[in-house]
Amino acid sequence: MTAEAFAPAKINLTLHVTGRRADGYHLLDSLVVFAGVGDKITATPAAEMALHVTGPTAAGVPTDGCNLVMKAARLMPEIPAKIVLEKHLPTAAGIGGGSSDAAATVRVLSALGGTPPEPGAILSLGADVPVCHFQRPARMSGIGNVIDPAPPPPHAYLVLVNPGVAISTADVFAALQGQFGSAMQETLPNWPDTAAFADWLLTQRNDLESPARTIAPVIDDCLATLSEQPFCLLARMSGSGATCFGLFDKAEDAQATAAVLAASHPDWWVAAAPILAVPTA
């Protein structure tokens, strides 16, 4: 028996840093969606747990206990399996690749008969793993442990670009300066269309964008290039970077933009994908 799961890219459409706890963890308020591009996890029962990594962005991805896939698998030791991670997302990119892989690992081992870990154990894997386990549009708050369903976004499309620069989340938080910002409004609106969605997003923030840009100024180029594209309604960085996204109303516009950017910036990772409204298999 073999089980498979898609591990979609996690996109922080907003990311408000609202404070910091005494233990150093930052408090967040973020609107998170998932994109129709990602990695794939396959698991087959075996005598002992093992991880093999393939795919176009597999270079440098560890296969030992450092990988979140293995950390997730060790939460379910009663189901030893050979796990194959087919890697398509860039690493250390602000789109939750490792966290989504870990959540997908929990899903595949559960499908093989394993007992899903408790929420606290899932959170121990990382702040983004709970929302990746939820795998729906969500409002993520606290230190990533509070997950509430978000109003369904309109049927919109993203163009994701990463300049090939890995950024440490810890370094970005360390570079965060000034006062913490406000949270999003208490009740999120229902957006009738992509234009209204973009207009609302323009009133929100990613508080990690500025410190990330000081660490990796190439993010400026990504944002400027996306903003200049026809039909791009909004350009913003996701998470702690360096991946940026452009929001588009139509699939054909997003796909045409991705083709243009891939041709003009062959050293960038570029992908066009829909915003997913429901969990994927």
Catalytic residue among 29, 39, 101, 128: 128
Cβ(125)–Cβ(118) under 8 Å? no
Q: Which residues pair with 41 in a beta bridge?
A: 5, 85
Q: Which of 10, 87, 101, 249 is catalytic?
A: 10
Please tell me the distance from the alpha carbon of residue 112 to that of residue 203, in angstroms, as a whole number.
44
* Closest C-alpha among 113, 73, 89, 107 to residue 4: 107
CA distance 161 to 263: 12
Q: Is 10 a known active-site residue?
A: yes
Positions annotated as catalytic residues are: 10, 128
